[in-house]
Structure 1
Amino acid sequence: MSISGVGQNYYQNSVATTKSTKSVNSTEEFTLEKTSGTQELSEAEEMELFKKEFYEELSKITMHTTVSNAAVNVTEAAFKRMKDDPEYKQQVLNWLKRDLGASYGSRNASVMLTVGSTLEECRGDAWPVSADSEFGIRSQDSFYKRSNERRDRQKELLEEYLEKRAQAKKQQQEMLNEKIAKAEQERSRLSRSWSSERQMAKASSTYEANVMTGTVAGGDSLLG
């Protein structure tokens, strides 16, 4: 069917308007979708950055010497709560510092702490080092994990150094004692030698005196 005159112009304008409207609507929809996608990506990046910062804060916590291994599990709900509520985040950090810095008795322990979206959901578990298999299984997917192996190695190196130092000091003392003993023996030998020489000199003097006395006595007898 052909359209002419005013009707044709109206039809063309109507089609153009419809196309323009569709184009604008499509552009708006694309812009909204793109903006929405950008916001979601930004939130994901912010959460990733928050997790990295929280990990760094965990790495600064000082563990007690009785804590050989430690693991921290954090639920996604807990991350969101801490990100949105700095006060709750600080409460969680205080709890983690307290439990990781506490003594677990005379035997070393492996500790696993789980952070929930409320303090009531936070919990802690501990096992003796002899039961590390249980800790290893339950801490496989932990957000944060630390072992005191490096500290134990440093302790071993320090103990080895102190032991070697003590041995060297002992050897030096033994050598010094040996020198002192030899010096004492030499002094004693010289003292005995000097005493012997004095005795010999005294005996010689006595002998000479006796000889002289005998000679004088014999002379008197001859004169008499």
Structure 2
Amino acid sequence: MNNTINISYLTRLAGNLSGTGAVRQSASQGGDFLSMAAQLRASERNTTPIPSEKTDMSMEAYQQSIREKISQMPLSTTRQMESISIQISDAAFERMKNDPDYEAWVLNDLREAFSQSNPWVATTGGGYSVFYIGETKEQCHAEGWYPGYMGNQGAAMFEDKTKGSFWEQRMENHKKYMELQQEAAARRRMLMKLRMNGGSVSAAELLMGLL
């Protein structure tokens, strides 16, 4: 059985904003960037279980702590349109829980991969990456492709490789987000035209802006 974690730039951004709201608020009330960064580092340290605590943690709780660590990893801005799936086997989770060195190696490897620039994602209109984490370093590997791969089968391949995950739900959320953005842009254009025309706008344009 594989445990799949799917990450997109939008869901990561939303999670980071909600998770650091208190820190951002305190910074805006007189704190500076250095103090904000120090608070962020402190909060990350406080959420990291020490080895003795890991032994007492349930596997479900440990897996959640790993998901939180992965969600906090910086993602290169060149990968904003990329979808990433991380699949961690049960055996891998078991070893990571009992072997701090292996856990550190896995997380550092993912952190380095996330930070790498991938300008081709924007050029090709998106990208897909799947990371497989196994019980040993030799069992860890990754694969990636673009939407046009295999005759424009890139999206279908990603969906097939991540069955049983939260991908379908996130895709729907992403579509709704884009629709809301388009509606907001249409309303902004209508308001701008109203100002330019001295408050005059056609009934058809008004209807389009309200739909």
- TM-score when scaled to structure 1? 0.47
Structure with greater Cα Rg: 1
- TM-score when scaled to structure 2? 0.50
Q: Which has the higher contact order (CA 8 A, sep 6+)?
A: 2
Q: Which has the higher helix share?
A: 1
